[in-house]
Amino acid sequence: MKLLSKLISQLLILSMVVLPFSTQAGMIGTDQVVANATAEANRDKVRDFVSRTDVQKQFETLGLTTANAAERVNAMTQDEINRIAGKIDTLPAGADSSTGWWIAGIIIVGVIIWYFWK
């Protein structure tokens, strides 16, 4: 019994000497929490964008598989993710923005032809 208690005490002493007491608890600032939440939200936004069917079709026409695109998104740095997420936010909602000019042009040409016809 004495041998077992001596062995346990030596193991405890050895573990206290070998394992450092460098663990610290500290306060996490709000800016760190917000930065981490924003970073994760941007990464999710880019993943969602890449998983859209119209984007996947465009990737396939360029010769890129969906799995390969997802791997590339996962390999991006946070700065790249933030830049792409910012570009996603500035994209026009809906169809191609140049179609409005075609319609306006056709209407203007139609009005001019109608004016000179009369």
Q: How far apart are CA 88 and CA 66, in angstroms?
A: 18
- 36 in a structural domain: yes
Residue 92: DSSP 8-state: P
Confidence band, pLDDT 50/70/90 cuts, at residue 1: confident
Most distant pair of Cα atoms in the chain: their distance: 118
**Mean pLDDT, rounded, of the chain:** 81
Domain that includes residue 47, residue range: 30-90
Structure tokens at 86: 């910012």
* Structural domain contains residue 84: yes
pTM over cut 0.75: no
47-97 tens-digit pLDDT: 888 888 888 888 888 888 888 888 888 888 888 888 888 888 777 666 555
In a domain, 1, yes or no: no
Within-domain flag for 15: no
Q: Is residue 107 part of a domain?
A: no
Rounded Cα gap, residues 68 and 15, in angstroms:
46
What's the number of domains the chain is made of?
A: 1
Length of the chain: 118
